């Protein structure tokens, strides 16, 4: 079947899912990063081609500072009816108002879960070529500072909190393609024994910033920042900051 045509505009949707902790499907998804990825992919149509996540511009993040909330952003309208019964309370809104509000000098609050790693070069003494080295402390903050500037933001404040390491399972000695499967795993399915655990280092960054390049900021919103987007990293959240409000 012919893949669904990609979006021709910057239209995007943000889905808020207030998760139901009593749901067995939620419990399973929260315990398995790759299962959570497959779950959010069920919000979208099938037949999106070989790279459905990238095709749909799907990004997501699990926020756990209060009641667990799953944020899912996509450039294709989601269908929340595809979630299991009792999975959570869902709200969907278009992002046009946010895109229209972006302008130079706008003060914003930001939040992003970043995959804070550095790839080793050919002459690196820290590890083998292209090995991912986890960054912590000032190195992680520098990682975000550089990417924020490239994303059209001038950081004013920065709070960095190490997040729980995201672990996924991939076939040994093969390159994972987490975007391709869309069917959720049943709660009783155990990972195949021939698969190995792969860690994904993550750091939660939040604070305030000033927009210096609205177009670049919009591109960062639409496409995400950094690696491991299939595992809940890279979704940039912005909201107007009213310091005296």
CB-based burial label for 198 (10 Å; 0-12, 13-18, 19+): middle
Determine, yes or no, domain membership for 194: no
Supply the range of the domain harboring residue 154: 103-165+201-245
Closest CA to 113 of 231, 219, 29: 231
List, in sequence order, the alpha helices (H) in 181-227.
214-223
Determine, yes or no, domain membership for 107: yes
Total number of domains constituting the chain: 1
Determine, yes or no, domain membership for 116: yes
Determine, yes or no, domain membership for 15: no
CB-based burial label for 83 (10 Å; 0-12, 13-18, 19+): buried
**Kindly report the CA angle at 232 between 111 and 146, in degrees rounded to 5?**
50
Give pLDDT, residue 166. Answer: 59
Determine, yes or no, domain membership for 140: yes
Determine, yes or no, domain membership for 22: no
Q: Per-block average pLDDT, block size 10, for the chain (245 residues)?
A: 48 97 96 92 87 92 92 96 97 96 97 87 60 83 98 98 66 47 46 49 95 97 95 96 76
Determine, yes or no, domain membership for 245: yes
Phi, psi dihedrals of residue 225, rounded to the nearest 5°: -135, 130
Here the CATH number for the domain that contains residue 224 is: 3.30.70.1210
Q: Output the pTM of the full model.
A: 0.81
Give pLDDT, residue 164. Answer: 73
């Amino acid at each position: 079947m012919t893949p669904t045509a990609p979006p021709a505009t910057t239209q995007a949707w943000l889905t808020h899912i207030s998760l139901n902790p009593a749901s067995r499907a939620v419990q399973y998804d929260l315990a398995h990063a790759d299962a959570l990825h497959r779950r959010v992919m069920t919000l979208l149509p099938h037949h999106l081609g070989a790279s459905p996540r990238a095709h749909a511009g799907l990004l997501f993040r699990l926020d756990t500072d209060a009641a667990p909330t799953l944020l899912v952003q996509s450039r294709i309208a989601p269908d929340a009816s595809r979630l299991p019964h009792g999975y959570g309370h869902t709200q969907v809104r278009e992002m046009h108002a946010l895109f229209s509000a972006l302008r130079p000098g706008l003060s914003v609050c930001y939040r992003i879960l970043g995959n804070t790693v550095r790839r080793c070069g050919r002459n690196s003494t820290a590890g083998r070529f292209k090995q991912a080295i986890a960054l912590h402390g000032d190195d992680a903050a520098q990682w975000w500072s550089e990417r924020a500037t490239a994303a059209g933001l001038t950081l004013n404040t920065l709070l960095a909190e190490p997040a729980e390491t995201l672990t996924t399972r991939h076939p040994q000695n093969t390159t994972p393609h987490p975007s391709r499967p869309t069917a959720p795993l049943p709660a009783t399915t155990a990972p195949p024994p021939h698969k190995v655990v792969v860690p994904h280092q993550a750091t939660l960054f939040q604070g305030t910033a000033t927009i210096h390049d609205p177009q670049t900021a919009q591109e960062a919103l639409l496409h995400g920042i950094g690696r491991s987007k299939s595992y809940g990293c890279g979704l940039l959240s912005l909201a107007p900051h009213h310091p005296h409000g």
